[in-house]
Structure 1
Amino acid sequence: MRFLVFGAGGAQGGAVARLLVEAGFAVRGVSRTRAVPEGVEPFQADLGDAGRVREAFAGVTHVSLVLPLEFEPDRVAAYVRHVVAAATAAGVRRLAFCAGNRLPRADTGQAAFETRRAAARAVLESPVPSVVLCPPLYLDNLAAPWVREALVNEGLLRYPVPAGVPVSWLSHADLAAATLAALTGDGLEGATLDLGGEPVTGPELAAAFGARYEEMDVDAFEAGLAAVMGARTASGVASTYRWIAGRGHDLYAAPPGGAERLGIKATSPAAWAATR
């Protein structure tokens, strides 16, 4: 088996690539500009370049797909189309697509959700045996400077989710384990799997860190992201938090049965906090 990991220079794809290398697999990592983890064969490519994407699939049998934080529908559709065409031509045995979020049941009108819903549909309807993974929020988000500073200095966990909204948190390491299981497990083709642990509210999450919880203003969150990621990306990401606060209180409370089906156990917030 030879694995191709898209986004291997990022946090999610990087975690997947590292685990695959640790498991002894040959791994090629696709990234636009960033370095990939040690032991991964680097392959520089842009998903918008169909020819370059096709070249990345040479000799590949299994694929982990994480899309960049872009939410323009036509562009994202082209990215997925290029990957599916290349995977089909290469005879890929299994593709695991991480949607980067849970997918609401009904249309939200938010590109950050709907581009991923369309991508999941395209992957599952393709000739490539595929699995879609739907993570909730990532515990690793809590290590970001804009969260960690208040946590360390004020004993305050600030995050842009209402305090009473239950969230099934997941670590990047858990995502990597889920991806490996999705790529190598039996009888998973065509499945869409919600990932995460037992849901906790904001105050319950903060208690795992010995802290108090405070809902962060989404506008302030977006402004902080914009300084790092740019205004367009920040707007797309922030739109999901606004939707959750307004209409999606149950999005992350759905039973995380996908983890059980994959044979993994999600790390609890308390266990994750103990390693920080």
Structure 2
Amino acid sequence: MRHLVIGASGAQGGAVARRLVADGRFVRGFTRTGGVPGGVESFPGDLGDAGSVREAFAGMTHASVTLPMVYEPGLVARQIGNVIEAARAAGIRRLVYNTGTRLPETDTGVAAFDTRRAAVEALLASGLPVVVVRPTIYLDNLLAPWVTGPLRATGELCFPLPAGLPVAWLSHGDLAGFTVAALTRDGLEGRVLDAGGPEAVTGHELAAAFGPEVRYAEQDVDAFEAGLARALGAATAAGVAGTYRWIAANDPVKLYGPGPSLDLHPASPRTWIAARRRETG
């Protein structure tokens, strides 16, 4: 088994690549920057370039795909078309596509949702042995400086989600576990798996996992977007912020709950937070 991880330099793809390496797998990391985790064969390239995508897939048997955080429909369609053609030419035995987020079932007008839903439809219609993983919101987002800063300074956990929305938060490490299971277990082809943590908690319950003195504060999405833009650029920040505006306007209670366990044991927020504290002393 030889695994191609598209997006191996990112937080999500990097977690998948590290997990596969730890399991003793051969891993090739396709990335725009060339920076990949240790033990991964680096393959710099651009998903918009059909030739480089085809070269990256050559000789691979399995693929994990996470698209870059760009949301222009034409570009995303070309990227996923290149992936489909290259995977078909390579005779890929299993391709796992990580949408990066849960997806509403219909068009929303939010490019970060709609481009990913179109990618799912194209992959499932391709005839390839595809498994789709739709993760909920990541616990690792709570490590961002615009979250940790107010938490330390004021005891407020600030995040742009409605306080009463239950979310089955998932870590990048547990996403990797779901992805590896989707890559290697029999009988999953054609399935769409909603990956999530073991329990859905509200904002107030999430804050309580940090300690009884911590309060939850629903962050203004414009302020969130401004902070994210400083880290990831204006276009990416606008795309991500659009998903949180949609959540605030629609209050999708059922969208962010736990998914099928696949006999895995993802960490609860309380367990994950305790582990991060042990790591940092």
Tell me if 1:10 matches 2:10: yes
| Structure 1 contact 50–82 (Cα < 8 Å) conserved | yes
Alpha-carbon distance between aligned partners in 2 of 1:148 and 1:193, rounded to the nearest angstrom? 31
Aligned match of 2:45: 45
Residue deviations 1:133-186, cap 9 Å, x none? 000100000001110111122221000001011111000000000000000011
Aligned match of 2:194: 194
Aligned match of 1:257: 259
State the shift of 1:266 in Å: 1.8
| Structure 1 contact 4–29 (Cα < 8 Å) conserved | yes
Q: Which amino acid aligns with 1:169?
A: W
| Structure 2 contact 34–42 (Cα < 8 Å) conserved | no
Evaluate the alpha carbon distance shift between residue 17 and residue 75 of structure 1 in structure 2; reply closer, same or farther with a 3 A threshold: same
Alpha-carbon distance between aligned partners in 2 of 1:201 and 1:34, rounded to the nearest angstrom? 38
Alpha-carbon distance between aligned partners in 1 of 2:251 and 2:25, rounded to the nearest angstrom? 39
Aligned match of 1:236: 239
Q: Which amino acid aligns with 1:243?
A: W
Aligned match of 2:279: none
Q: Which amino acid aligns with 1:154?
A: T
State the shift of 1:105 in Å: 2.0
State the shift of 1:264 in Å: 1.2
Aligned match of 1:60: 60
Alpha-carbon distance between aligned partners in 2 of 1:275 and 1:155, rounded to the nearest angstrom? 19
Of all paired residues, the percent bearing the same amino acid is 61
| Structure 1 contact 170–267 (Cα < 8 Å) conserved | yes
Q: Which amino acid aligns with 2:237?
A: A
State the shift of 1:251 in Å: 4.9
Alpha-carbon distance between aligned partners in 1 of 2:64 and 2:12, rounded to the nearest angstrom? 10
Aligned match of 2:28: 28
User: 5 Å matches for 1:78-157?
Assistant: 78-157=78-157
Alpha-carbon distance between aligned partners in 2 of 1:131 and 1:85, rounded to the nearest angstrom? 17
Q: Which amino acid aligns with 2:205?
A: E
State the shift of 1:124 in Å: 1.1
Unmatched runs of 5 consecutive residues or more in structure 2: 277-281
| Structure 1 contact 166–249 (Cα < 8 Å) conserved | no
Residue deviations 1:48-91, cap 9 Å, x none? 01000000011100000000001000100100000010000000
Alpha-carbon distance between aligned partners in 2 of 1:257 and 1:216, rounded to the nearest angstrom? 26
| Structure 1 contact 244–251 (Cα < 8 Å) conserved | no
| Structure 1 contact 65–96 (Cα < 8 Å) conserved | yes
Alpha-carbon distance between aligned partners in 1 of 2:256 and 2:8, rounded to the nearest angstrom? 29
| Structure 1 contact 7–65 (Cα < 8 Å) conserved | yes
Alpha-carbon distance between aligned partners in 1 of 2:102 and 2:265, rounded to the nearest angstrom? 18
| Structure 1 contact 124–130 (Cα < 8 Å) conserved | yes
What SS does structure 2 have at the residue aligned with 1:257? coil
Alpha-carbon distance between aligned partners in 2 of 1:257 and 1:247, rounded to the nearest angstrom? 20
Unmatched runs of 5 consecutive residues or more in structure 1: none
| Structure 1 contact 166–252 (Cα < 8 Å) conserved | no
User: 5 Å matches for 1:180-191?
Assistant: 180-191=180-191
Count of residue correspondences? 273
Tell me if 1:206 matches 2:207: yes
Alpha-carbon distance between aligned partners in 2 of 1:246 and 1:193, rounded to the nearest angstrom? 25
| Structure 2 contact 166–202 (Cα < 8 Å) conserved | yes
Q: TM-score, normalised by structure 2?
A: 0.95
| Structure 1 contact 96–130 (Cα < 8 Å) conserved | yes
What SS does structure 2 have at the residue aligned with 1:39? coil
Q: TM-score, normalised by structure 1?
A: 0.97
